[in-house]
């Protein structure tokens, strides 16, 4: 197997693994020989993903997980170490969309939910993943931010704030833990056709088409296009990329 895509024997932890990016990541890493720790609040969806991967010969552990709970992250990391003896890669992918609204109309509950899931869900994960990966001999953490974490996001101010903060945590952790052999990067996708997009209010086909026109390629991203880049970012052979927030946006940020 090409060393750039070889994850044989590596233990990969993925949050938000029941659908969307997480489900596709489980397939890609599983197909390349990784042991999988899959986490999501949606236990039924997790079980379906696990069944598919087990049928393909993967070693899989699943756990119903609320990423807003610190103890759930502690459990995931402990489970990885007990089950497979190491944690090599962690992908903090779980997230939620924001109900659209101008900044002065955002309610506390909306803002708090964004901070709890999209920011604390990454912070709590890294709190335990960093130490475990360092003790395992080094590896990689990939945090899922957004293009909204790099620029303004009108009507999605709370979401944008959380995703900006994810990049700040990513860069800080990358510097603090580089000497432990832990690389920490973030991925910042443009709009992509995942179930998360379908959950967002005010995102009918007309709005999606309008947003797509921002992109030089005149379309939103396909989930698999995002996943291909994420797998490469996590590759053990990609050993000198650290502290980066990588835009996968069809050229939107090139303007």
Active site residues: 159
Query: Which residue carries 């379309």 as its tokens?
Result: 219
Quick check: 3 and 237 in contact, CB under 8 A?
A: yes
What separation in angstroms does the CA of 160 have from each of 17, 97, 126, 233? Answer: 22, 10, 20, 23
Residues 6+ apart with CB under 8 A from 89: 7, 10, 11, 12, 13, 29, 34, 133, 139, 140, 141, 142, 234
């Amino acid at each position: 197997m090409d060393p750039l895509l070889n994850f044989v024997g590596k233990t990969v932890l993925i949050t938000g693994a029941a659908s969307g990016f997480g489900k596709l990541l489980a397939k890609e890493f599983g197909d390349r020989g990784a042991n999988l720790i899959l986490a999501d609040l949606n236990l039924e969806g997790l079980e379906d993903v696990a069944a598919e991967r087990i049928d393909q010969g993967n070693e899989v552990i699943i756990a119903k997980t609320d990423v807003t709970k610190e103890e759930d992250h502690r459990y995931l990391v402990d489970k990885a170490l007990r089950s497979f003896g190491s944690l090599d890669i962690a992908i903090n992918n779980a997230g939620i969309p924001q109900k659209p609204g101008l900044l002065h109309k955002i309610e506390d509950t909306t803002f708090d939910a964004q901070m709890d899931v999209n920011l604390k869900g990454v912070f709590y994960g890294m709190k335990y993943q960093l130490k475990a990966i360092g003790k395992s001999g080094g590896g990689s953490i990939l945090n899922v931010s957004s293009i909204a974490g790099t620029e303004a996001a009108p009507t999605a101010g709370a979401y944008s704030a959380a995703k900006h903060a994810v990049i700040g945590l990513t860069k800080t952790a990358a510097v603090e833990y580089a000497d432990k052999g832990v690389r920490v990067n973030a991925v910042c996708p443009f709009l992509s056709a995942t179930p998360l997009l379908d959950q967002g209010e005010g995102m009918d086909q007309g709005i999606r088409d309008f947003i797509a026109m921002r992109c030089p390629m005149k379309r939103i991203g396909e989930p698999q296009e995002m996943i291909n880049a994420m797998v490469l970012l996590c590759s053990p052979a990609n050993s000198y990329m650290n502290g980066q927030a990588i835009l996968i946006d069809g050229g939107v940020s090139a303007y």
